[in-house]
Structure 1
Amino acid sequence: MAKTKVIVVGAGIAGPVLAIFLKTRGYDPIIYERLPSPGEGGLSFLLQPNGLRVLSLIPGLVEQIPGQSPNRMIHCSSLDGKEDILVDDDISPDTMRERFGFPMIGVRRTEFQQLLIDMAEKHSIEIKWGHQAIEFEQSEDAVEVTFTNGTKDTASFVVGCDGLHSNTRIALFGKEKANFTGLAQFGGLSPTPPTLRGQFALVNNYANGRHMVSYPVAEDKYSWAITTREAEVKEDWKTQHVEQQNEIRRGPLSHWGFGAGDLVKTGQKIVKYGLYDRPELKSWFKGRIVLLGDAAHPTSPHLGQGANQAFEDVYHMMRLLKKYNPSTGQPSIELLSQVFSDYQDLRISRTSELVRRARQQGEARVVEGIDACRVRDEKIRMGSQDDAARMAHFELLSGPFKHSEM
């Protein structure tokens, strides 16, 4: 009997992970990606225990992740020439494994994506580059996808993992207006500054009207991003021109304390992008087509949960496919409706809450005026002692399962 074919749209981060799970569970996935080759966009992200818990279900993957785990999480403030440590927590791999079973790992996006692509290809999953999906025509038992180059392909169902600018989402629900939040970020990769050598610290630097987060992605390299309030900026993640990069490197931020200024001065491939909001969808699927990851619930980066929540999506999608289609046979539209309905009912409320929390975090971090900054700093200092916040954080990092049901 022929295996059930699944078209996965997008070879970024979520797409290859989903395809590997589909393949190992008896489906026949094929990945279509609009870019001609693995992208250079994006800097890095922090893999957290909830995301790593899902990735650990792929044998040998977590052990190969090319990154670096932080040992400390430090919150520090620079105001009126005064530098102050607000919070200094132990988040070493041993401590995190004891609490959650997994550490945190800072990874460069390009290196991590390449690992996932290599892993997918080792599982004999075909990836077709340079194929941008533009039309989806559904019948009772299949979906035909048309690409800009004229290619067509047909599968039992389609999963849109095509990220922030998802064509699959547009095809299902129409084009939406993205609203600029008033916040922009710029960041880069830098050699480890002298003040952080040997520490492997995740550092949040707060100042008047700005916030920086930085963390190690290799033994000798840090990734960093600064959030500020300014006029509207495109969300294209493109590297700035040389003159623009030099202006940032030589600007006032190069004098920031706690190693932040050194990171700015030595930044490589500095990118700048605006942060935008999109409407929360009431549904993530139509018929045989469903959304996953950023295509379904794009988020601002202030909680560092974007990729990790995409992996939680993957886990629940696969768990429900196993529950309702244990034979992995050709699913009826009724069966898929049950899978996709349960999936979105579980995930929409969860991810919507996290998207809101991320927005609130960004607003709370980037405040202007010395008095307002001092209030912010005191909230951060006291927040480490907030039992409710600590329980929410523990619950977040302990997901999405204790014992896998896949």
Structure 2
Amino acid sequence: MPPTKVIIVGCGIAGPVLALLLKQKGYQPVIYERGKRAPDAGLSLMLQVNGLRVLSLIPGLVEQLPGMAVDQAIIYSVVPTDERILGQSSYPADLRRECGHGMIGVQRRKFTALLADTAIANGIEIHFEHQVVGVEQTDEYARVKLNTGETDTASFVVGCDGLHSNVRIALFGKEDATFTGLTQTGGFTAAAFPGQKPTMFNFYGDNIHVITYPISETGYSWALTQREPETKETWRAMDETAQDAFRNGPFSQLPFGAGELVKNAEKITKYGLYDRPELKSWHVGHVLLIGDAAHPTSPHLGQGANQAFEDVDNLIRLLAAALSAVFTEFEAVRMERTAALVRGARELGEKRVVGGPGAGAGAK
């Protein structure tokens, strides 16, 4: 019997991980991705305990992560009239000792490339530059329509296609995103905080917040959040003129090393932060949304990717549990009746095959 085919839409964060874990369970996953392989968009991710636990289910993956484990966290006030350290903690290193996983900062582009490469190495079919533009379904299957004019059919479809999910639009229609009033500007800076152990820093100022953490032995990723007029949600680098203006602007004067992050940044990206309406359901028929396609979140808790991995883990476990539940219900419905029929058949057989004086009595 051929394995159950599953179409996964999106090869960013959740899609390849779902495909790898589905394949472990005997499914046949196929991924369609609208973009190119390893697009240069976005900045970085902080992989936390819950996300790393799921990634560890894929043999050898955590050991290959292109990032840096964090050992401590330091919080500063950069308010001009109150510049000081607010707190310091070793909880990232403590988590690693106590839970087996801690916190690892990774560059998004390198991380998504690793996930795609790992999926391909495990025999998973990925179609890059194939955009899903529609979904239709029957009682037995779901079918995706592609921008190439082709279609593909599977037992079920999982939309892992992020903030701008076409699968979500196909299921629930176009929605207006709401600007939160906050923008983020971020980048990568080499040789930041020399001599410091790998540290996640938070800087709190007057209507601004900066977070930064290492993504390699020599480089830090950072993001500065502020209240500003609406900015597009592109997650792509600003033009060079705008980058230079930001590097030399007022934020380059922030204390405790935050200003050096801005001043020496290699690439600077700016984007608005938006909310989406909360869905009452994440699925219709044979089509399910997970990750940012289902529950997009602003980045302030650092849980976007980690929650997507939790989605994947729970879906895999529930698929296995659902099969077991079907078998259990099947047994409950059928066992008693079939056992009675087996006993009745044996009794009738005993009556039918009789010798001596009683021969022929079984027919009466």
User: What is the rounded CA distance, in whole Å, between the counterparts of 1:115 and 1:197 in structure 2?
Assistant: 29
Aligned pair in 2 of structure 1 residues 328, 122: CA closer, same or farther (>3 Å)?
farther
TM-score, normalised by the number of residues in structure 2:
0.87
Measure, in 2, the Cα distance between the counterparts of 1:247 and 1:234: 19
Aligned to 1:292: 290
Q: Which residue of 2 aligns with 1:161?
A: 160
**1:137 shift after superposition:** 1.2
What is residue 150 of structure 1 aligned with on the other side?
149
1:317-356 correspondence to structure 2 within 5 Å: 317-325=315-323
Rounded Cα–Cα distance in structure 2 between residues aligned with 1:58 and 1:327: 26
Post-superposition shift, 1:139? 1.1
Give matches, 1:164-179, under 5 Å: 164-179=163-178
CA–CA separation in structure 1 for the residues paired with 2:307 and 2:9: 18
AA aligned to 2:120 is E
What SS does structure 2 have at the residue aligned with 1:59? coil
Task: Describe the SS at the equivalent of 1:325.
Answer: helix
Equivalent-residue separation in structure 2 for 1:38 and 1:304 (angstroms): 21
1:224 aligned partner: 222
Helix, strand or coil: the match of 2:215? strand
Q: Which residue of the partner structure matches residue 343 of structure 1?
A: none
Structure 2 gap segments, 5+ residues each: 328-364
Matched, 1:3 2:3: yes
1:52-106 deviations in whole A, cap 9, x for unaligned?
011111111111111101111011001225421111000353x212332211000
Residues 123-202 of structure 1 mapped to structure 2, 5 A cutoff: 123-193=122-192, 195-202=193-200
The question of whether the paired residues in 1 share the 8 Å contact of 2:37 and 2:113 is answered with: no
| One-letter amino acid matched to 1:283 | S
Aligned position for 1:45: 45
- State the percentage of identical aligned residues: 53
1:307 corresponds to which residue? 305
Give the total of aligned pairs.
Answer: 327
Question: Do 1:192 and 1:263's aligned partners in 2 also have CA atoms closer than 8 Å?
Answer: no
Is the CA contact (8 Å cut-off) linking 1:146 and 1:153 kept in structure 2? yes
Larger deviation, residues 66-75 vs 209-218: 66-75
1-structure distance, mates of 2:271, 2:58: 33
**Root-mean-square deviation (CA), in Å?**
1.5
Q: How does 1:44-83 map to 2 (within 5 A)?
A: 44-80=44-80, 82-83=82-83
Report the residue type matching 1:40 in the other structure.
D
1:198 deviation in Å? 3.0
Normalising by structure 1, we get a TM-score of 0.79
Q: CA deviation at 1:280?
A: 0.5
In the alignment, which residue of structure 2 is the partner of 1:14? Answer: 14
Contact 1:322 1:328 in 2 (8 A): no
What SS does structure 2 have at the residue aligned with 1:170?
A: helix
Which residue of structure 2 lines up, in the alignment, with residue 26 of structure 1?
26
On the 8 A contact 2:165/2:293 being kept in 1, the answer is: yes
Highest CA radius of gyration, 1 or 2? 2
Q: Does the Cα contact within 8 Å between 2:38 and 2:110 map onto a contact in 1? A: no
Partner of 2:275: 277
Structure 1 match to 2:101: 102
| Number of the residue aligned with 2:35 | 35
Runs of 5+ unmatched residues, structure 1: 330-406
Measured in 2, the distance between the counterparts of 1:15 and 1:326 equals 25
